Structure 1
Amino acid sequence: MGYLNPLLKLPAGRALLDLPAEQRAPLEAVMRELRDQANTEAEKSWLKRKGPMAAYWRAVSTYARHLAHALSAGAPCGRRSGGFACTLPKGTRCPDCSSVGIDAGDPS
């Protein structure tokens, strides 16, 4: 994932990371399927010149993608930088942690 997932800024979004992997995996699969189906609907709506519905389905697709990425992420890093705990998954290079030379792979 090449961006900071905006859902992980919300407490409920971060709570997804606390779910056990065996609960996250099927939810992630459903979200990825929803993304594909919503993209198909967006294209159909666009071809019918139904712009508002195309925009709606594209938004559904985007939200589903963000949810799938959040569900596929591991436990949060937890390192503290600038007074805030990092919410990026362990093993990623946190922008704040990286800027001060802290490896985000280990929260200790």
Structure 2
Amino acid sequence: MGYINPLLDLPAGRALMALPAEDRKRIEAVMRELRAEAAVNAETAYRRHKGPMYAYWRAVSTYARHLAHALSAAPICGRNSGGVACTLPKGHRCPDCSSVGIDAGDPS
């Protein structure tokens, strides 16, 4: 996914990214499983002409995929901003240094 994940702009999203790598991997696996199960439920609802349930399960699937992708994202930025190391993936805008191009070069 080549976009900035809006879930990581939330404080809870940043807290997820601050977890140890082992914990993120376990949560990522659960999110990928949830995505697959929700996608099956969405298709079942679609075939049964249950529009609201289709929309619900499709949203669950999408959010689970976004979280799994965020948790598996490549290296954390690590740039110090306001005395705190950024825990967002490289390429994502840091909360305090969004004007700095973190895609270009190593974190400082």
Report the TM-score range of the alignment, normalised by the length of the smaller protein: 0.7 to 0.9
1:13-92 mapped onto 2 (5 Å cutoff): 13-73=13-73, 74-78=75-79, 88-90=88-90, 92=91
CA RMSD of aligned residues (A): 2.6
Per the TM alignment, residue 12 of structure 1 is displaced from its structure 2 partner at its CA by 1.0
Per the TM alignment, residue 11 of structure 1 is displaced from its structure 2 partner at its CA by 1.1
Aligned twin of 2:12: 12
Per the TM alignment, residue 26 of structure 1 is displaced from its structure 2 partner at its CA by 1.0
Question: Which shows bigger deviation, 71-80 or 56-65?
Answer: 71-80
Per the TM alignment, residue 89 of structure 1 is displaced from its structure 2 partner at its CA by 1.4
Which structure has the highest helix share of the two? 1
TM-score scaled by length of structure 1: 0.77
- Consecutive unaligned residues in structure 2, runs of 5 or more: none
Q: What SS is found at the alignment partner of 1:49?
A: coil
- Aligned length, in residue pairs: 100
**Residue 7 of structure 1 contacts residue 13 of structure 1 at CA under 8 Å; is this kept in 2?**
yes
